[in-house]
């Protein structure tokens, strides 16, 4: 009884604060993520204007302009080193306590660098940057409100949810992605602010940009259950495409490093390639939103679709490998949609299923995204929310599960795990030696933890550590081996720094 009395006020106050923080983050992070989305959409017009000039003098002029833009982007990356790429691995590292980004510099670099890259037409998406923007804004809010380290991490995760929700108008997928890929926890302490922030960010998006799904196409005729074997075959194909994408992206990054070119040179190469692609394969420029909308609206020859797939694949590798400020979410979805369209072209003449064309595009998007990210439930939710249709869940599930199985069978790691490890190596903070000493880390005990209700002497921690203090209901307790850990407790532990990653996974895993 005494423990329940202590636990409830603590939980209630923390949850109420998380609700307030979620609302605030949803409004502010949602607004800035929507602003980024709006800027990217408007610079698409600038890009179309640039590539409308076909004469040699203008091409030479644009070449020099693109090189200048590359140099600016490189300066921004040097100034804000954690602003490159999608930003998703960086946000995860921030939540894990492995890095501390300067949110002001990161935001400036992301906005300017992402805009310049989109003007040139780099094959990068707005979704990863939106996640980092949302997380950076949330960190700034946490600083202003003087939240402690643990609550700051929850708020950054909520900001990430708001960013993805605003980018795709997909609040459920935004919440699930942040919990699965960033925080690695399903505690209600982080679930509550994430869900609230995502829904409000989606509302902000609807309010400012209109109430419509991310893509204009949706399923009108659902693929019958008798064709489930088609979904399974497509799952195999999209699983392999996802593996190819992951391998190529990592190989391209390694190739850039082997050349020992500096950041400026890498970006100049990417921008020169962008100019070439813009004039010869214009359909591949940018994230690919217009491309997938176009493919969904009319039937293209299979040869053209194959060219689109190959060019978009290689161009995305080059664009992302350069380190430019931009993500891979949208290009991956485009590759999936094109893969689905190609498969439809192959089977449609045999099965006479022309009315199910859009099904194949949507299924392809879910399959490749699942293979790349290795998050089938999030992929299903994201594609469903983006297209505004829930009528194809059985086929989507079949494709996603098969694609997941194929990627796992080939032991191809999820792309964000690989990118996260790469960032840790680059920053030389992935692991520290035993001589570098101990660190102090803080966690909140959740109701799903096996630690809850156990005394300290009963708990088998993954490594040797010292529980230095337990904070309960605002009162700090000096723990003894007989003290129990209760739901909502804030604990401070001391452990060797080289064990931080494993200890963090232990406390944040839903399978504690």
Q: Which strand (E) or helix (H) includes residue 472?
A: strand 465-472
* Tokens found for residue 377: 């439930």
CATH of 435-508, one of 1.10.10.10, 3.40.50.1860, 3.90.1010.10, 3.30.70.1450: 3.30.70.1450
Task: Answer whether 170's CB lies under 8 Å from 203's CB.
Answer: no
Hey, do 225-425 and 435-508 end up sharing a CATH topology, with the first three levels equal?
no
What is the pLDDT, as a whole number, of residue 126?
87
Q: Report d(CA 291, CA 287) in Å as an integer.
A: 9
CATH of 225-425, one of 1.10.10.10, 1.10.3080.10, 3.80.30.20, 3.40.50.1820: 1.10.3080.10
What is the pLDDT, as a whole number, of residue 425?
73
Task: Answer whether 86's CB lies under 8 Å from 148's CB.
Answer: no
Q: Which strand (E) or helix (H) includes residue 442?
A: strand 438-444
What is the pLDDT, as a whole number, of residue 280?
96
Residue that the structure tokens 């209630």 belong to: 12
What is the pLDDT, as a whole number, of residue 53?
95
**Segments of the chain with pLDDT less than 70:** 1-12, 184-187, 389, 427-440, 447-448, 474, 497-498, 500-501, 505, 508-512
CA count, 13 A, side-chain hemisphere, 46: 13
What is the pLDDT, as a whole number, of residue 184?
67
- Among residues 147, 145, 110, 144, the alpha carbon closest in space to that of 36 is found at 110
Q: Residue 418's Cα: distance from chain center in Å?
A: 13
* Tokens found for residue 282: 């214009």
Task: Answer whether 205's CB lies under 8 Å from 169's CB.
Answer: yes
* Tokens found for residue 459: 């708990």
- Among residues 367, 447, 355, the alpha carbon closest in space to that of 400 is found at 367
Q: Residue 221's Cα: distance from chain center in Å?
A: 31
Q: Report d(CA 34, CA 37) in Å as an integer.
A: 5
Task: Answer whether 156's CB lies under 8 Å from 140's CB.
Answer: no
CATH number corresponding to 15-209: 1.10.3080.10
What is the pLDDT, as a whole number, of residue 185?
64
Q: Report d(CA 187, CA 190) in Å as an integer.
A: 6
What is the pLDDT, as a whole number, of residue 7?
44
Rounded alpha-carbon distances, angstroms, from residue 474 to 2, 146, 231, 477: 16, 16, 54, 10
Name the residue ranges covered by the structural domains of the chain. Answer: 15-209, 225-425, 435-508
User: pTM for the whole thing?
Assistant: 0.83
Q: Where are the alpha helices (DSSP H) in 427-499?
A: none
């Amino acid at each position: 009884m005494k423990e329940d009395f202590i636990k409830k006020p603590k939980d209630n106050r923390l949850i109420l604060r998380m609700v307030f923080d979620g609302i605030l983050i949803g409004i502010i992070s949602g607004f800035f993520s929507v602003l980024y989305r709006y800027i990217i959409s408007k610079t698409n017009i600038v890009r179309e204007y640039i590539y409308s000039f076909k004469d040699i003098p203008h091409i030479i002029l644009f070449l020099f302009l693109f090189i200048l833009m590359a140099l600016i982007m490189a300066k921004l990356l040097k100034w804000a080193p954690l602003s490159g790429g999608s930003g998703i691995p960086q946000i995860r590292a921030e939540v894990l306590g492995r890095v501390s980004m300067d949110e002001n510099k990161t935001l400036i670099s992301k906005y300017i660098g992402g805009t310049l890259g989109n003007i040139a037409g780099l094959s990068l998406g707005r979704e990863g940057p939106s996640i980092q923007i949302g997380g950076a804004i949330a960190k700034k809010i946490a600083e202003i409100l003087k939240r402690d380290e643990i609550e700051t991490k929850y708020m950054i995760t909520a900001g990430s949810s708001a960013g993805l929700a605003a980018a795709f108008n997909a609040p459920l997928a935004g919440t699930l992605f942040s919990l699965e890929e960033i925080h690695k926890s399903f505690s209600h302490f982080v679930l509550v602010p994430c869900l609230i922030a995502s829904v409000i960010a989606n509302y902000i998006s609807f309010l400012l940009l209109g109430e419509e799904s991310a893509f204009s196409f949706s399923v009108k005729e659902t693929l019958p259950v008798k064709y489930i074997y088609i979904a399974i075959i497509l799952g195999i194909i999209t699983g392999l495409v996802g593996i190819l994408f992951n391998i190529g992206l990592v190989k391209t990054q390694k190739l850039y490093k082997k050349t020992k070119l500096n950041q400026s040179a890498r970006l100049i190469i990417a921008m020169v390639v962008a100019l070439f692609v813009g004039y010869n394969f214009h359909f591949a420029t940018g994230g690919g939103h217009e491309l997938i909308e176009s493919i969904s609206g009319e039937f293209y020859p299979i040869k053209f679709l194959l060219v689109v797939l190959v060019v978009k694949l290689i161009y995305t590798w080059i664009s992302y490998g350069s380190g430019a400020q931009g993500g891979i979410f949208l290009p991956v979805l485009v590759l999936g949609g094109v893969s689905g369209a190609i498969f439809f072209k192959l089977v449609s003449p045999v099965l006479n299923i022309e009315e199910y064309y859009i099904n194949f595009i949507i299924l392809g998007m879910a399959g490749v995204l699942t293979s790349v990210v290795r998050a089938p439930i999030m992929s299903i939710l994201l594609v469903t929310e983006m297209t505004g249709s829930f009528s194809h869940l059985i086929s989507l599930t079949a494709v996603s599960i098969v694609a997941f199985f194929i990627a796992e069978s080939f032991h191809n790691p999820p792309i964000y795990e690989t990118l996260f490890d790469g960032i840790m190596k680059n920053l030389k903070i992935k692991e520290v030696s035993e001589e570098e000493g101990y660190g102090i880390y803080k966690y909140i005990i959740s109701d799903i933890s096996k630690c809850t209700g156990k005394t300290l002497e009963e708990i088998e921690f993954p490594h040797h550590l010292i529980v230095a203090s337990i904070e309960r209901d605002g009162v700090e307790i000096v723990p003894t081996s007989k003290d129990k850990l209760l739901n909502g407790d804030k604990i401070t532990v001391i452990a060797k720094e080289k064990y931080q990653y494993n200890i963090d996974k232990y406390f944040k895993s839903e399978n504690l």
